[in-house]
Structure 1
Amino acid sequence: MSDTGNHIVLSESFEDNEKILQENECSPLNNELPGEHNDLVPKVGMKFKDENEIYKFYKKYAYHVGFPIKKRNSKKCEDGVLRYVAYACSREGKRTSKACTSLKPLPTIRVGCKAKITAVLVVLGIWRISTVHLEHNHETSLSKARLYRCNRQLSEHVKLQLEVNDIAGISLQKSYNSVVVENDGYEHLTFVEKNCKNYIDKVRKLRLGEGDVAAIQAYFSKMQALCPGFYFSVDLDEECQLKSVFWADNRCREAYKEFGDVVTFDTTYLINRYDMPFVSFVGVNHHGQLILLGCGLVSNEGTETFVWMFRTWLQCMKDQAPVGIITDQDKAMQNAIEIVFPNTKHRWCLWHILKKLPEKFGNHSYKASILSIIYDVVYESHSIEEFEQGWSLVIEKYTLHDNDWLSGIYRERVRWVPCFLKTSFWAGMSTMQQSESINTFFDGYVHSKTSLKQFVEQYERAMRCKVEKEFQADVMSFSQMVPCASRYPMEKQFQEVYTISKFKEFQDEFTEKMYCEVVSTEEGSLGTRYEVREDIIFDERIKEKIFWVVFEKEKCDIVCSCHMFEFRGIICKHVVTVLIRNGVRSIPERYILRRWRRDVSRSYMRVKINYNGWICTPNQLRYDKLCIVFAKIADLVADDEERTQSTIEWMESQLNALNKSNAKPS
């Protein structure tokens, strides 16, 4: 052995080293280990129990001085036992880059620092520091030490807090900010936001398993086992790579029977990490809430892809196409709808079109005036003639004949201008409101960087939340009642049967009849034609509008030029004005839509909910028992035509008897 200053050279023999060190000037082995005392400065000869204790000691020293450390290298003998370790300042060495002439070099911490310590195993259980270099060729900083990579760590408390918040749908940024507040500022944290993100990404992977496709398949298998009627389909390319996937649970399928007359199809909610748009079929329930009717993921937005998605969804819904469908302005989507839903009314989302107006006229000197007039023409035209005149006026006034975009949307005006669409039923889906609502259906549960593995888990939480909100609205409509604003029997009639949200819509129209007045009448072949003036008051200004209401008294048939009932299924203020004028006390049943009633038993509400093992209601349990018995009966009689027919006749007789005994509307 030779000893030159602080550098001790040991032999290759383990036994020789033990003897040499015992003869050295350091404390004998049976004395207190130097690593256990309060001296933080490394010295040659210090002894430790294992290499981890050396690392912790050097790390503690480096923290107080203010520099980062790393494990430089280590050596094992032929017997596989670790005999040598070296720990160095992280700024040791210099980065070698092939792109030495790059104009955009990446930052580096390496500056050729020589600070380090080395240690050797002298006997089993005893490590001794053999080399110490304390000098650095760079500045050190105690205040910055907490954020060096080697010192960053999340406490168990912070880890638990991040996991709980992630499960609850709280964004990572909000979780990190709450930890900052809890610890009285950034200066008391030993980690940065990226460390939190890395931890959550790791937890999510562990929670959901390896592989996105595998996770989706596992989810589908689980749902099929738990949920009778769960439907899914996967579209693969020639190399068996995932192209598109669609799924709908039995609740979605049963809800479609009730609320599938009008649906919106949206592809704007992107999962950017995989460049696979999330697509959703969404309807409106009896409370006016959004209700999911199926969803999927598509690898591209071409006609062929949409044809596959629409056909798959149609097959899932037993080939019952919707009466109307709302989409954004997409040619491939339009082509697919014409192929799969040739008899379905297709409407564009007005919000998606009008939001493009500012950019289309960004540099026009009369931009503000053009936008104001177009908005007014689109929203305020109550007839096709009125729209055509207003549109022609703005085109002529601002010489917009050569504007290709305006010409294009004008050619397709029957798909988006309200006055062309208001005579058809759209379940009150306001285009602007609906577009915003669809994009927020899964807000708080998925975001632009959500992975496929995360999505299948977050999907269940989002659905559970939506089902719970619908249940709460059902409870409110069952146990509460909004007081009538008047003593008219007509208002009482709607109060007794409509859900609270839909009764409020009618009540708003009913109370606003105070702003309406019949100014003239005219007899015609279809009934009496009433001219109704409505005063629209805003900012202490009054604007008058004229509406025409045709009323056939004997049949109590009534139509208003605003067509609110046809569009939303709600009687308008103009109709109410005419009905009260004619002494009508009770509205015919055809104007009270089953769709908005709270006293209707709907089959989808009896479907067992299996989102995260949710507990079933007594109604759902009874429904399941009946389905099991019906299935057993079918198994017993299906092989015999005569027994099948007699069983069907008996069941139909029971159905008729139940319908007659049921006093409530079915």
Structure 2
Amino acid sequence: MDESGMRFSEPNYHGWSVDEDDFSDEYEELFSDEEASQSANMDENLDCLHFNGKKYEDLRSSDMIGVEFSSVEAVDTFYAYYSLAMGFSFRKEKLCRNTAQVVVRRQLVCSKEGERKKRGKPDPSFASEIISCAQNLSPPHGTKQVCKRKTVNQKPIVEDADRRSMKRSGKQSGEDEHGKKRQRPPQRNITRGNCQARITARRCKESGVFRVVQFITEHNHALVTTEFVPFLRSHRKVRDHDVAQVTALKKVSVGTCRAYELLVHQAGGHEFVGFLIKDLYNKMDSERKELMVDGDAQSTISFMNLKASKEAEFFCLFSVDAEGRLGNMFWRDTKSLADYNNFGDVLIIDSTYKTNIYGKPLAIFVGANNHRATVLFACALLADESEDTYNWVVTAFLTSMRGKKPISVLTDGDEALRNAVVNLIPEARHRLCAWHIAKNVVKNVRDADVQRDFCHLIFAGLGVDEWEKSWHYMVTMNGLQDNKWVAAMYNKRERWAEAFFRNHFFSGMCTTQRCEAMHRNLKGGVGRYMRLCEVLPRMDKTIECIRFNGLNDDFKSMNSHPVIGSHMRCIQQQVSVRFTHDVFLLIKDQILFESKFLVADRVRYENQGSTLHLVTQYGKPERTWHVTHYQGKPDLSFVCSCHLFESDGIPCCHIFTVIKTMNMTTLPESLVNQRWTKQACTKDTSTLSSGIMPAKDLQLARYGQMMGDCAQICHSASFSDEAYEEITNCLSRLMVRSKTFKRCKDSQPPETVDGLQPNVIRDPNVCKTKGTHSRHSTSVEVERDQPGGRGCGFCSRPGHNVRTCALLAAQNGGGKG
């Protein structure tokens, strides 16, 4: 039977990357071979420019017939050098083995060999011929013959390459899920031309070498010139060290495109890289699929178990839905536990979107450290934003922190989250984000003066009675008695107005902007199209960077001193020693503000052992504050009516006014809040690591160390010709020797953790959250399905926009159309 146009290959046998369109169907012929044995040598030291003293361009059939190679890999290497020198791409066609699975025949052909199969229904006579041949064909005695072909049926045959092309484009003939007709994309360009150039080598039974029995050099097409050689598919390969370098760059949030630009820069041009950017994308995608061999969710769970094996205090908890898919996932590490024990008095909870391909909201638990910098306590991926989900994640958080509860909690206006916090942490004082309240004011109130007065009542440090008077005055003067939104905000005023939180510690925070900043940092390396197994390692890198900056703040506080002013210098000197630099600046401002106040009167209460000081502002005697000094209570020496110390932990300017009046030169110990001092961070005595490092991380660590050493050597040797020649020769010898090292990448078993069975957690479904639009990745299709398309931005009616809106034109024109 004529085999012209049929495809035979062994995909990726020697590692040469071949286009999917050039892949052939698997074809194996098993021949009898008594006492067959493998060749001892696995590599042939071939010259890339000459073969047997002759240039590759000058080789003829007579020069190659009868030439022997030690192994099949040597045959592949020779034809790779030959095709590169001649200017054509080759393809692996046949690989025949005997019953002992020893390779006995190897054939390599030009990539233009054969013809593309035609579309349409097969010829019935042709199908009958195949069936009859299959029934009547019997292999020789003592041999087996296996020929894997596509099943012939009466359905239209569509070539694999074209089917994959249609699948990638998302279009096929017929109708889509919305009932709309799809246009068939144009067929891929024809690359086959029935070229007969090839090389065939057979294995000798006696010596075990491979002897060339066929070598055809004539092509029926033009060969490419030097500038087009980088585009030949068989000569484009992404090497392992390129993958390692790109993988290292991706761990620090450098995209594949930018990584390719770096490789181009290092190679000296696109033509010297050895592959195209599409090849790099395909290679990295295959690496990702290899990582996700058990699925995205299972790979994520394995990643968490590896972290748990390295950290004794690591905590992770996840839930599974009825279908066995990953639902919620909560985790925190050892450092987060230590930070929460030191600074967990105030907790901020918020969620963000567009961090993974499943649309799962990312919830984070953050706080403020002694430098007033943001610290991360925990993270969670949520299945949805229901109250049950928030109950689950808040319970997991309290469990991971060993039952320690915060005294203050800040959230946005999500009622589900608020209910979960109130039910599970009833002792904590809950506060709504002031920034979100101010944003809602702008949306619901159009008058600019009312917006200004409303925002003043959000942040003003007034007393409760004074705040009530100001509120009713604002409502009455602006006629807001019937405004439902204003009335609703008044009913929950104790959740957002500063006046109701003056005597409760919130460490100077009234918004969730720390969460927003943390979201911005975490989302810098992740995106909405990334899978969970890619998101979590990048988040770890970002968290490491944030914590490193915190160590830098500690270093500056311990090894430098802030500039001290002349006003109340003794007090400033003590504050600079006890408190961190950032807190010192806040206290210093209060000390400087002291010059604007004076003590107008004092009243002594002998029975209580206290003295009441009446503090007024200079030039404004109507503004007064009361500062009470307790002589016999070392833990409570000063209390001011502004309650700045109780809410922020910082002594106010009114207290410093009294201290100056009493001629005190030392700061009372009762005014030192330990969470703001340099010694606020207790030393963590828990075991941070068990010494276990995953093989992949160990390999990357070794690679990074050797890359740094080589970079230093190459930089030093690039300044002189002598050093360049010496280092180049040494690197060449090391390169040859490194190829002899055994690679254990494929031989090592996958890393597993005891107690977790593989393939038990399925990938989650795409979530529909309140923070995302209904139009997701198919926004254009959904928009087209809506009647009339998108509505007008002014009247919300479809069919026009604000520029052509008749209602807007009539309003602006005083009723004239």
TM-score scaled by length of structure 1: 0.68
Residue 686 of structure 2 corresponds to 607
Could you tell me whether the CA contact under 8 Å between 1:351 and 1:431 is conserved in 2? yes
Q: Does 1:482 align with 2:562?
A: yes
User: 56, 59, 63: which is aligned to 1:37?
Assistant: 56
Residue 501 of structure 1 corresponds to 582
Residue 333 of structure 1: CA displacement?
0.9
Residue 304 of structure 1: CA displacement?
1.0
Equivalence map 1:244-263=2 (5 Å): 244-263=328-347
User: 550, 557, 572: which is aligned to 1:491?
Assistant: 572
Q: State the AA in 1 paired with 2:363.
A: V
Equivalence map 1:569-584=2 (5 Å): 569-584=649-664
Could you tell me whether the CA contact under 8 Å between 1:521 and 1:531 is conserved in 2? no
Residue 133 of structure 1 corresponds to 220
Residue 307 of structure 1: CA displacement?
0.8
Further displaced range: 202-211 or 432-441: 202-211
Aligned CA distance change for structure 1 residues 450 and 506 (closer, same or farther; 3 Å): farther
Residue 37 of structure 1: CA displacement?
3.0
For residue 517 of structure 2, give the secondary structure of its aligned residue in structure 1.
helix
Residue 99 of structure 1 corresponds to 173
Residue 59 of structure 1: CA displacement?
6.5
Residue 425 of structure 1: CA displacement?
0.8
Residue 655 of structure 1 corresponds to none
Higher helix share: 1
Could you tell me whether the CA contact under 8 Å between 2:458 and 2:496 is conserved in 1? no
Q: Does 1:285 align with 2:365?
A: no
Equivalence map 1:514-533=2 (5 Å): 514=595, 516-518=596-598, 527-532=612-617
Could you tell me whether the CA contact under 8 Å between 1:74 and 1:86 is conserved in 2? no
Q: CA RMSD in A?
A: 4.8
* Distance in structure 2 (CA, Å) of the matches to 1:168 and 1:216: 19
**Deviation readout 1:534-586 (Å, 9 max, x if unpaired):** 9xxxxxxxxx998642112454433143x432222112334323432443433
Residue 549 of structure 1 corresponds to 625
Equivalence map 1:378-527=2 (5 Å): 378-380=458-460, 382-383=462-463, 409=489, 411-431=491-511, 433-440=513-520, 442=522, 446-458=526-538, 460-486=540-566, 487-514=568-595, 516-518=596-598, 527=612
Equivalence map 1:552-631=2 (5 Å): 552-555=628-631, 556-561=637-642, 563-599=643-679, 602-603=682-683, 605-610=684-689
Aligned CA distance change for structure 1 residues 395 and 445 (closer, same or farther; 3 Å): same
Matched residues, percent identical?
21
Q: Does 1:321 align with 2:408?
A: no
Residue 395 of structure 1: CA displacement?
6.9
* Distance in structure 1 (CA, Å) of the matches to 2:475 and 2:58: 86
* Distance in structure 2 (CA, Å) of the matches to 1:442 and 1:267: 12
* Distance in structure 2 (CA, Å) of the matches to 1:340 and 1:574: 38
Residue 264 of structure 1: CA displacement?
1.2
Could you tell me whether the CA contact under 8 Å between 1:89 and 1:115 is conserved in 2? yes
Further displaced range: 31-40 or 234-243: 31-40
Could you tell me whether the CA contact under 8 Å between 1:531 and 1:548 is conserved in 2? yes
Aligned CA distance change for structure 1 residues 182 and 378 (closer, same or farther; 3 Å): farther
* Distance in structure 1 (CA, Å) of the matches to 2:479 and 2:112: 74
For residue 431 of structure 1, give the secondary structure of its aligned residue in structure 2.
coil
Could you tell me whether the CA contact under 8 Å between 1:528 and 1:550 is conserved in 2? yes
For residue 343 of structure 1, give the secondary structure of its aligned residue in structure 2.
coil
Could you tell me whether the CA contact under 8 Å between 1:547 and 1:574 is conserved in 2? no
Residue 538 of structure 1 corresponds to none
Could you tell me whether the CA contact under 8 Å between 2:587 and 2:651 is conserved in 1? yes
For residue 195 of structure 2, give the secondary structure of its aligned residue in structure 1.
strand
Residue 265 of structure 1: CA displacement?
1.6
Q: Does 1:234 align with 2:318?
A: yes
* Distance in structure 2 (CA, Å) of the matches to 1:573 and 1:111: 79
Residue 87 of structure 1 corresponds to 111
Further displaced range: 69-78 or 435-444: 69-78
Could you tell me whether the CA contact under 8 Å between 2:110 and 2:198 is conserved in 1? no
Could you tell me whether the CA contact under 8 Å between 1:549 and 1:575 is conserved in 2? no
* Distance in structure 2 (CA, Å) of the matches to 1:61 and 1:369: 80
Residue 110 of structure 1 corresponds to 188
Q: Does 1:165 align with 2:227?
A: no
**Deviation readout 1:119-177 (Å, 9 max, x if unpaired):** 455552424338743279xxx99977756766654466644432332344445454344
Residue 814 of structure 2 corresponds to none
Q: State the AA in 2 paired with 1:594.
A: Q
Q: State the AA in 2 paired with 1:311.
A: T
Could you tell me whether the CA contact under 8 Å between 1:45 and 1:129 is conserved in 2? no
Residue 650 of structure 1 corresponds to none
* Distance in structure 1 (CA, Å) of the matches to 2:451 and 2:229: 57
For residue 454 of structure 1, give the secondary structure of its aligned residue in structure 2.
helix
* Distance in structure 2 (CA, Å) of the matches to 1:343 and 1:462: 33
Q: State the AA in 1 paired with 2:652.
A: C
Aligned CA distance change for structure 1 residues 432 and 259 (closer, same or farther; 3 Å): closer
Could you tell me whether the CA contact under 8 Å between 2:347 and 2:409 is conserved in 1? yes
Q: State the AA in 2 paired with 1:134.
A: H
Aligned CA distance change for structure 1 residues 404 and 135 (closer, same or farther; 3 Å): farther
* Distance in structure 2 (CA, Å) of the matches to 1:400 and 1:57: 87
Could you tell me whether the CA contact under 8 Å between 1:208 and 1:454 is conserved in 2? no
Could you tell me whether the CA contact under 8 Å between 1:115 and 1:135 is conserved in 2? no
Q: State the AA in 1 paired with 2:321.
A: D
Q: State the AA in 1 paired with 2:532.
A: L
Residue 715 of structure 2 corresponds to none
Residue 459 of structure 1: CA displacement?
5.0
Residue 412 of structure 1: CA displacement?
3.4
Could you tell me whether the CA contact under 8 Å between 1:176 and 1:193 is conserved in 2? yes
Equivalence map 1:47-196=2 (5 Å): 50=75, 54=79, 71=91, 81-82=105-106, 85=109, 87-88=111-112, 95=162, 99=173, 105=183, 108=186, 110-112=188-190, 115-119=193-197, 124=202, 125-126=211-212, 127-129=214-216, 132-134=219-221, 146=230, 152-154=236-238, 158-172=242-256, 174-179=258-263, 181-182=265-266, 193=277, 195-196=279-280
Aligned CA distance change for structure 1 residues 55 and 186 (closer, same or farther; 3 Å): closer
Aligned CA distance change for structure 1 residues 577 and 176 (closer, same or farther; 3 Å): farther
Aligned CA distance change for structure 1 residues 500 and 613 (closer, same or farther; 3 Å): farther
Q: Does 1:345 align with 2:432?
A: no
Residue 184 of structure 1: CA displacement?
6.3
Aligned CA distance change for structure 1 residues 508 and 440 (closer, same or farther; 3 Å): farther
Could you tell me whether the CA contact under 8 Å between 2:329 and 2:382 is conserved in 1? yes
* Distance in structure 1 (CA, Å) of the matches to 2:229 and 2:556: 57
Residue 309 of structure 1: CA displacement?
1.4
Aligned CA distance change for structure 1 residues 315 and 123 (closer, same or farther; 3 Å): closer
* Distance in structure 2 (CA, Å) of the matches to 1:337 and 1:421: 17
**Deviation readout 1:389-418 (Å, 9 max, x if unpaired):** 776777788877787666655543432333
Residue 434 of structure 1: CA displacement?
1.5
Aligned CA distance change for structure 1 residues 323 and 206 (closer, same or farther; 3 Å): same
User: 347, 370, 387: which is aligned to 1:303?
Assistant: 387
For residue 393 of structure 2, give the secondary structure of its aligned residue in structure 1.
helix
For residue 639 of structure 2, give the secondary structure of its aligned residue in structure 1.
strand
Aligned CA distance change for structure 1 residues 157 and 218 (closer, same or farther; 3 Å): closer
Aligned residues: 561
Could you tell me whether the CA contact under 8 Å between 1:75 and 1:84 is conserved in 2? no
Greater RCO between the two (CA within 8 Å, min separation 6)? 2
Residue 591 of structure 1: CA displacement?
1.7
Could you tell me whether the CA contact under 8 Å between 2:360 and 2:381 is conserved in 1? yes
* Distance in structure 2 (CA, Å) of the matches to 1:255 and 1:335: 26
